[in-house]
Amino acid sequence: MTAARRRAVLLAALLCGAAATAMVLTSDHPEADSGWALLSPVVGWSFIATGLYAWRRRPDSRVGALMVCMGLAWFLTALGLASSAPVYSLGLVTGGLWGGVFLHLVLSFPSGRLAPGWDRRLATAGYVLFTVGSVPAMLVAGPPELDCDECPANVLLISREPDLAGAVLAVEAGLYAVLFAAVLVHLTLRWRRTGTLERLQLTPVYLCGLLAFLLVTAATAGAGDAAWWAAFMATALLPFAFLGGLLRNHVARLDAELRAHVEELRASRARLVAVGDTERRRLERDLHDGAQARLVALAMLLAHARGRAQAEPDEIPELLDEAMSELRTSLAELRELARGINPAVLTERGLAPALDALAAKVPVPVTVDADAAERLPAPVAVAAYFAVSEALANVAKYARATEAKVAVRRSNGRVTVDVSDDGIGGADPTHGSGLLGLADRVGALDGTLSLDSPPGGGTRLHIELPCEPHAGPQLPAAAPHGPVRV
């Protein structure tokens, strides 16, 4: 809701409340008194104020809008205390509209939307019964039958029929009782089906709502002024019950989100452990099958050279050359293995040159646009590097792209990494361990990762990482670096 609309609602509420008070204070109706004139507008205003607050805090829920409607409809009850016969008659019909809105509120809480089926049937029955449901009795009931001998004339009265009026009023009271019983059973069954946290938000609303409905039903059945005043007080408590339910709903949602985050954290930790174990096994395999095997062969070759040193001295240079070749190969393999753990160019020169070197290995033309003027914390730089590495690996394997772009920017305490391509799209982050591991790495730094990959529309990976100044160890800055076409 906009600020202008909110001010309009508040102005309408003030005008309606003032008009209702003025009508009651100037009316000759026997039941119009100063107590009602002072207290009744407060009920309407409390609904409207609470509704506006709920509407602002929970715009996704219609409860706030319904509470505003409830407050405005409440002011129509003043029409039933007018001294003018037409206005009084109109009030007998429209004065119960608040009851329909109230029932709508209770049945649709906390979303404010009626579910198909019994919710809509009961709400419709409430709107009809609380408004036009009084019309049949008004056609045959005079002031005595309406328990108000000094009230204005009923303009809908066709012919006064005391016996028929009594029967119609009894049927009306019976319909109130049937509707109350149906609502009670329906809400009880719903309450029992909900979980513990949902019950916390539903309980205050259901208790206050059903209490107010019961008192209105009793008053309609002829329980007297005491029942009407009790219903009045129960209705006055309803805004606070709805507000309390909404706040409990908010707490329940936060709790659910926290539980989801905890579960995701557990799953992320399990994936990180699994990735760590896999990497350790890969390193063990690479060392065993590569550098270790070559070093063992080198040791055997040197031992053989030592044995041949006296018997065949002419073979020693050739054996030493072969040993040096094996040594150089082993060193190259160890460097390559170390580079896979943490690229040397990233550590020595910074992120931008490391991304250039990474892009040069991709079979797809890649444009790198990275700001290398500032030093980045080592964890952030490493996370950004491996994010781009994983994204470009996917571009090369699956995207069928003709070009890709990499952009890295730092501003407002955050580093953003964008990798996009013009490929076939359709990437699914839930399949494959690469993106899951990348999401875990980003999440460990309190960063966010999003993937936009519509079928046929290319893929865009967007990552944001917090990067406060002087936060953690820094990688050295590279020379000034701008957009490079690789």
pLDDT of the residue at 407? 93
Q: Is the alpha carbon torsion for 56, 62, 65, 68 positive or negative?
A: negative
| Closest CA relative to residue 152, chosen from 27, 62, 242, 55 | 27
DSSP collapsed to 3 states, 20-65 = HHHHHHCCCCCCCCHHHHHHHHHHHHHHHHHHHHHHHHCCCCCHHH
| Closest CA relative to residue 223, chosen from 233, 211, 210, 214 | 214
* Residue 176 lies in domain: 3-260
CATH number of the domain where residue 87 is located: 1.20.1070
Whether residue 445 is found in the same domain as residue 366: yes
Asked whether residue 268 is domain-assigned, the answer is: no
478 phi and psi, to 5 degrees?
Answer: -90, 180
Select from 292, 322, 341 the last residue of a domain: 341
Q: Is the alpha carbon torsion for 5, 7, 11, 16 positive or negative?
A: positive
Structural contact between residues 441 and 386, judged by C-beta atoms closer than 8 angstroms: yes
Whether residue 455 is found in the same domain as residue 478: yes
Exposure of 459 in the CB half-sphere (CA atoms within 13 A): 24
- Using DSSP's 3-state secondary structure scheme, residue 380 falls into helix
Structural contact between residues 134 and 92, judged by C-beta atoms closer than 8 angstroms: yes
CATH number of the domain where residue 402 is located: 3.30.565.10
Whether residue 211 is found in the same domain as residue 186: yes
Structural contact between residues 481 and 352, judged by C-beta atoms closer than 8 angstroms: yes
Select from 299, 315, 341 the last residue of a domain: 341
pLDDT of the residue at 121? 94
Kind of pairing between the strands at 448-452 and 459-466: antiparallel
DSSP alpha helix (H) spans, 194-290: 196-218, 225-286
The torsion region of residue 122 among left (phi > 0), alpha (psi -120 to 50) and beta comes to alpha
Local confidence pLDDT in tens for the 486 residues of the chain:
678 888 898 999 899 989 888 888 888 877 777 777 777 888 888 889 888 888 887 788 888 899 899 889 989 988 888 888 899 899 889 988 988 998 898 888 878 899 999 999 999 999 999 899 889 999 998 888 887 778 888 899 898 888 898 899 889 888 988 998 998 899 889 888 887 767 777 777 787 778 877 877 776 666 666 776 777 777 777 777 777 666 666 666 666 677 777 777 666 665 655 555 566 566 666 665 666 666 667 667 677 666 666 667 776 677 677 777 777 776 666 665 555 556 667 777 788 888 888 888 888 899 999 876 666 887 788 888 888 888 888 888 888 899 999 999 888 888 999 999 999 988 876 665 567 777 777 877 778 888 888 888 899 999 998 886 544 445 444 443 443 333
Asked whether residue 65 is domain-assigned, the answer is: yes
Whether residue 33 is found in the same domain as residue 111: yes
Tell me the C-alpha to C-alpha distance, in Å, between residue 91 and each of 37, 88, 130, 480. 16, 5, 12, 79
Asked whether residue 275 is domain-assigned, the answer is: no
Domain count, the chain: 3
d(CA 442, CA 464): 8
Strand partners, 452: 460
Asked whether residue 237 is domain-assigned, the answer is: yes
pLDDT of the residue at 306? 64
Select from 341, 365, 391 the last residue of a domain: 341
d(CA 244, CA 458): 47
Structural contact between residues 129 and 173, judged by C-beta atoms closer than 8 angstroms: no
Whether residue 362 is found in the same domain as residue 244: no
Whether residue 59 is found in the same domain as residue 129: yes
- Using DSSP's 3-state secondary structure scheme, residue 451 falls into strand
- Using DSSP's 3-state secondary structure scheme, residue 109 falls into coil
Whether residue 407 is found in the same domain as residue 324: no
d(CA 390, CA 384): 10
Chain position carrying tokens 């319909």:
175
Kind of pairing between the strands at 404-411 and 366-370: parallel
Whether residue 300 is found in the same domain as residue 359: no
Long-range contacts of 208-214 (CB under 8 A, 24+ apart): 208/234, 208/237, 208/238, 208/241, 209/102, 209/105, 209/106, 209/238, 209/241, 210/106, 210/180, 210/183, 210/184, 212/102, 212/237, 212/238, 213/102, 213/103, 213/106, 213/180, 213/183, 214/180
Asked whether residue 274 is domain-assigned, the answer is: no
Asked whether residue 10 is domain-assigned, the answer is: yes
pLDDT of the residue at 471? 45
Whether residue 72 is found in the same domain as residue 191: yes
Helices 63-74, 34-57: axis angle to 10 degrees equals 160
How many H helices and E strands in the chain? 16, 6
DSSP collapsed to 3 states, 126-186 = HHHHHCHHHHHHHHHCCCCCCCCCCCCCCCCCCCCCHHHHHHHHHHHHHHHHHHHHHHHHH
Whether residue 288 is found in the same domain as residue 195: no
pLDDT of the residue at 368? 92
pLDDT of the residue at 129? 92
Whether residue 207 is found in the same domain as residue 321: no
Structural contact between residues 168 and 141, judged by C-beta atoms closer than 8 angstroms: yes
- Using DSSP's 3-state secondary structure scheme, residue 478 falls into coil
d(CA 344, CA 328): 18
Asked whether residue 441 is domain-assigned, the answer is: yes
Asked whether residue 7 is domain-assigned, the answer is: yes
The maximal CA–CA distance of the chain, rounded, in angstroms, is 140
Whether residue 392 is found in the same domain as residue 481: yes
